[in-house]
Structures are given as structure tokens and as C-alpha cells.
Structure 1
């Protein structure tokens, strides 16, 4: 099974390839242009919005996904013990860390991807807070993930969209603990996380980095 996972230290919270050299040139969109992380985020969102689950990507969009993905060996296997089939999971965890130091706002936590043979789980444990313990009209957290996999005989497409979010009112911090399971042959994953704090002065969004352990 061919398997890859988008994963890297990022400056914004899309996980993508090339951990040793974050300045990657895309020979698909512009052979001479070096994409920064914001442009990678923007392009991934643009591609994701164009297709439904199970719809095959164009060759150009599929190449972009492959360009920014880190291939990894699939170690998840099925075992049959005493007539029972079980799945060995490979677990990958990323630390979430972001802040607005001038206002004393912080978003921290973890994202975990449990990869099985066919069944997989994405879980999040993240907190957005005012470190000065001031109360605000609304505080919330959100994790958006996209699983890419094989569509048709040799195509690439979205096999699952994951959205985990929650918020609270009149609080000084908010904690999101949730998970989502999905099935399919995963080829790539991407995540975007953000926390927000809303008060009389408006809404401040924190876009943390995700760093693979």
C-alpha cells in the first residue's frame, strides 16, 4: 500500500512536507516561485474547495498534493489471533502552540492521528486561554483536517473531511477534546488549527504551529 502523510514543522498550521527545507519550489504552478507557508495553506484550501469527497483531482492538483507530502511506510497491518482480526495502529502526534503575546492569548494542545489498515481516527486536545485569566464573551477552538487517498485506479482525491470545533461564552479559557473516525486507504493528511477569543474589542484569531513529535 502506498502511503504518505503531510507532516512538518510549520509557520502556520497546515502540515506539509519537506521538514529539512521549508522553501519548496513547485514545478507545477510556477517553476521559479518559492512557496511560503501561507501560499501552501491558500493553495490547499483552494484545491479542497473544488472537489467533493471521492472526486478525482486533476493531474495538476494531485501533483501539488504529492509535491507537499512526506511519503511514509505503512506499518499498520491486520493480525488474526484466535480467529479475531485486529488492527495495529501507527500513532503520530503533533504539538499545537500559538499565542498573541501582546494580548496574553494562547492556544496549545495536541493533534493525534491513529492510522489503521482501513479505519483511522483523528483526535484533538487543545485549549485557548487568556493567560491573565480575564473573562471574554466567547472563546473557541477548531481543527480542520483533510484525508487524501486513492480514487479510481490511480487517481488522488479527498476521502474524508474532518471538522472538530466548539466554543464557550463568558469564560477565560476553552478546551476542545474530540475525535473523528473515518475509513479508507489514506495517502496524505493535512490539518489546520485555530483558536479565537472574542470580546468588546472584536475577535482575535490565533493560528498556531503544529510540530511533529
Structure 2
């Protein structure tokens, strides 16, 4: 029986603990039958044969920048069917100069209030599709960074949160996506904006969503 292959690419800004956070999900990927390769360099995205044989890329590299060759290699692989997944700054606060990458991911981090905020993750009641990722999970509270992100209508939003007014910066509470899926070419993309630290990813509901999202995104 063939084994699916997962590639975990981690590094960048250590404040997001790319090693600790990705290590949480390696056992689950292996239990799900994935042969897992871990790389700590972005140059792996220039290895076309490896990417073509990869069913899932888990990207955890905050404050990064892809070369033109690396961006082309990664995006082309996803367009051809390789799955792509990640969380927090590892996917949406990185590669901000890489337009093809940002279009593939479907969102970009812009700002968050200072410190950790207490807020509610609101599960979409009837998502257009991919509801199996959040099935059986009710709205739940978290205390972590609250991301303000830019996204587009190609995403299927599975969970949101409301960022309340802060002084005179804006007048009305704003709802932002927290979890979304996206199709890009033949590939599937999964993004969760939670996950600043290991403790955030240990929250049972978040851990379940990410575990399911990784499996969902894989070819």
C-alpha cells in the first residue's frame, strides 16, 4: 500500500516557536499514514521532484521571503495538486513580497492589538463546503493574539472572530476569518490564524481543527 508524503518546512522568526508548534502534529500525521520529512530551509521549494511526490506541505516559517524560484516551485506544486496548510504567522505573516504565494494562501496578516486578547472563535453554522473540519465543534473562547487579516471571497470561511473597537481607531466591531479553506488549481489550502504559541495549539478545539485541516488539505 502506498504511503502519502508530508513535508514540514519550519524556521524563520523563533517567537512563533516553529519547532515546538510543528512537533505537536507530527505524531498525528504519522498515525494517519504519512511519511513525514522535516526541512528547516526554504530552498526545499526548489526541489521539483520532491514537491511533485509530496501530498501535503505544512509551512511554519514566520517573517520569511521566498526567492522567485522558491515561490514558483511551491505554488506550482500546489496548483498541480500538492496540499498546503499552516497556522498563524507561519503562513499569513510571511512572504509578504511574494504575490503568487499570497494569492495561493488567500490572506495576509496586517495587525493585532498589543498583547493577548480574550475572544470567541465562532464556528460557521453552515459553511459552503469543508464543514467536516469543524463538525461537532461549538463556539469556544481563546486568549491569544487576535489577528486582523485581509482575505478574499474565494475562501470558504469555517470560523470567525469579532475584533472590538479600540479607542478611536474604528467605530464598529469587525468580523474576521479565523479558519478558512481554499482551492488553488488542483491543490487544497487550509489556514488557521490561531497558533502564536504551543499552548494555543493545545486548546482541544483548535488542535482538532488543525489536525483535521492538515488531513483535509493533503492530496
Larger Rg: 1
TM normalised by structure 1 equals 0.28
Higher strand proportion: 1
Q: Which has the higher helix share?
A: 2
TM-score for the superposition, normalised by structure 2 = 0.28
